[in-house]
Structure 1
Amino acid sequence: MIGINGYELLVLAILAVAVLGPERLPEYASQLARLVREVRRMASGAKEQLREEVGPEIDEVDWRKLDPRQYDPRRIIKEALIDDFEDAVKPVSARPAPAAPRGGTSAPGAERAAAPTGPPAVKPLMRLQNGERAPFDIEAT
């Protein structure tokens, strides 16, 4: 939990005996024990208060999913890009059909004319002539 192994704990205990001395060490050890008990009591009280306020839904929460160590930005970006790619390459038959016009019957050729025939037209690229200045928008700068 704290990340201290046995050797480090032994070094800290020897250091505490040397700094505090054998006379005051039991007093400080009992104060430390009281502090640990008080912190545990406060933590359990906070858990109970949270459980009372939130209700039984708190038991259904998957806390491992909310662990910040599970956050991997590369994985999240990769999944998002793959999802977008799969949406982009869906066949046309899988996409929803355009809505039929309201108002009853229509002419036989009207359905064909209303259906999209392909991607929208793209404007041609306008090139500047030699010596022509590029348009300048004073509000954009």
Structure 2
Amino acid sequence: MFDVGLGEMAVLVVLALVIFGDKLPQVAGQAGRMLRQFRQMADSAKADLQEGLGPEFKDFDLNDLNPKTFVRKHLFEDEPGGGLTANGSGVFDDEPSYATTAHQLDGKKPPFDDEAT
């Protein structure tokens, strides 16, 4: 959990007991209420956004804006109309494989450009 070990967690608990003392349950309750309010605000903002976009975007999901999800959805999923698809090894189907490239070079080293980035 947050890359915190057992010893570090124990130190945090002891520190919280020293700082807050007998008011620790009240502070924890207030923190829980704040988190609940933040979640409710985020859910209502998401619902308002989806409502404001209209029926054209009823399938729109905010998780689609995550770059990893966007790339996975648009580049690696099979589409019936074609487009880029990836084979099981993660190499695009229309790219030459290493074996094909090595055969074309006839055992010679590939060209190397010192100034390439």
Alignment TM-score, normalising by the size of structure 2: 0.44
Alignment TM-score, normalising by the size of structure 1: 0.38
